[in-house]
Amino acid sequence: MKMNRTPLVIGILSIAAAFATPQVRADAVTDWNTKSGELITEAKMGTPPAVRVMAIVQTAALQAVDAAQKANASPEAALAAAHRVSLTRLMPAQQPAIDAAYQAALNGVADGAARTQGIATGEAAAQGVLAARLDDGAATPEAYRPKTSPGAYVPTAPVAVSQWAQRKPWLLSSAAQFRPAPPPALNSAEWARDFDEVRTLGAKAASRRTAEQTDAARFWDYSLPAIYHGVVQSVAKQPQRDLARNARLFAAVAQAMDDALIAVIEAKYHYQFWRPVTAIRNGDIDSNDATTRDPAWTSLIDSPMHPEYPSGHSILAASVATLIDADAKGGAVPELSTSSPTAKGATRRWQRTDDFVREVSDSRIHGGIHFRSATNAAEAMGRRIGALAAQRLLQP
């Protein structure tokens, strides 16, 4: 996974500048969402831990805003304090940048009782959320045991976050609550269609893949929270929205994304289905006469170090889209957009949430790392998780 390697001092200056420049601000909730994403990127952590951090931070932000409004305290001060406490606890190496953002945010809040009460309220909110998630299973040691036979070689590169399925969800009753049906049987026509689609469109040198499809595949080779929260900011930055509504939306998205990864990782390691590069290079042993082995086949994008089914990107996109639709309450959704470091900062745009989800899923097939059945199953999971988050968190 490619990471933003901007020097820390530049990150500190950009974070402080964002809070000190009122004409470019949306609101304090959205500003802090942006800054949290930048700080997470600077920390160079993997996607599942990064998504967990964002869930904790956005939940603390929601609770800080709610508590501040009830106490007639400054919600901006509460947000600053909640972010400082939660981000510092979760990413202590980023403390200089966190402190710079905190001070810049407080500079915009007038001195007085409301400011003082807001700081205390935000600190208490963050401490409460951190305490509640202290033993959520994120620190469980990785103990994956590959399927093998005595004496047989198994590749020794470590798999990714197999222990994540043991984590405590925010919304789900269990990691397996929405586990999908198994992937297609290898002797089925559906499997042959999935196999051929990826073989012809997902290869590194695929002649049938268009330039647009290649661009999208590279764009979605990035998976840290900022790329999805950027889509949500398209909604949050619209006129006439208030702090509380945006706090609810970002918290719902963050919790849904964290639960989505818990659920999809549980399903991945339950089924342990092979990636396209393995399947296509072994197309002669799948008991399906409609598949053809290609011993030198290589995907456009490097395969992640975890099982194929279902798709992580697809479950995230579907959960986010479901919450954007729920927030709109049947009304029109604004143009959605976000940018990606793996596409040199390019921005992509969508007029409908369905178009956004479809592009994300297609990109994983055109990148050569997922089959269609995996994206379809993950989208269905994500819709259910998003609906659950909307029910629990979007209502005042």
For 181, 193, 267, 312, 333, the CA distances from 377, given in Å and listed in that order, are 8, 16, 10, 10, 25
pLDDT digits (tens, 9 = 90+) for 178-231: 999 999 999 999 999 999 999 999 999 999 999 999 999 999 999 999 999 999
* Burial environment of residue 127 by CB neighbours within 10 A (0 to 12, 13 to 18, 19 or more): middle
Question: Among 176, 219, 193, 167, which residue's Cα sits nearest to residue 345?
Answer: 219
CB count in 10 Å sphere of residue 11: 21
Cα-Cα-Cα-Cα dihedral sign, residues 48, 54, 60, 65: negative
Residue 9: partners with Cβ closer than 8 Å, 6 or more residues away: none
The most distant pair of C-alpha atoms in the chain lies apart, rounded to whole Å, by 76
Instruction: List pLDDT tens digits, range 154-179.
Output: 888 889 999 999 999 999 999 999 99
Query: Rounded to whole angstroms, how far apart are CA atoms 249 and 49?
Result: 21
Range list for CATH 1.10.606.20 in the chain: 162-393
Backbone angles phi, psi at 350, to 5 degrees: -140, 145
Instruction: Using the structure block, give the residue that is written with the tokens 């951090």.
Output: 53
pLDDT averaged over the chain? 94
Note the pLDDT of residue 46. Answer: 95
Of 355, 340, 289, 308, which is closest to residue 198 (Cα–Cα)? 308
Q: For residue 389, what pLDDT is reported?
A: 99
Query: In the chain, which stretches have pLDDT less than 70?
Result: 1-26
Report DSSP letters for 125-161, one per residue: HHHHHHHHTTTSSTTPPP-------TT-----SPPS-
| Start-end of H helices in the chain | 8-20, 28-43, 47-70, 75-90, 95-106, 113-132, 189-201, 211-219, 225-236, 243-271, 276-281, 312-328, 353-366, 372-393
> At which residue do the structure tokens 């093998």 appear?
148
For 312-331, letters b (16+ CB in 10 Å) and e give: bbbbbbbbbbbbbbbbeeee
Q: Is residue 129 a contact partner of residue 56, using CB atoms and an 8 Å limit?
A: yes
- How far is residue 152 from each of residues 148, 158, 277, measured CA to CA in Å? 7, 17, 20
Identify whether the C-beta of residue 246 lies closer than 8 Å to the C-beta of residue 236.
Answer: yes
CATH match of 162-393 with 1.10.606.20? yes
Give the model's pLDDT for residue 26. Answer: 60
Tell me the one-letter amino acid at 302: D
- pLDDT at site 378: 99
Residue that has been written with the tokens 């196999």 in this structure: 195
Residue whose structure tokens are 């029109």: 332
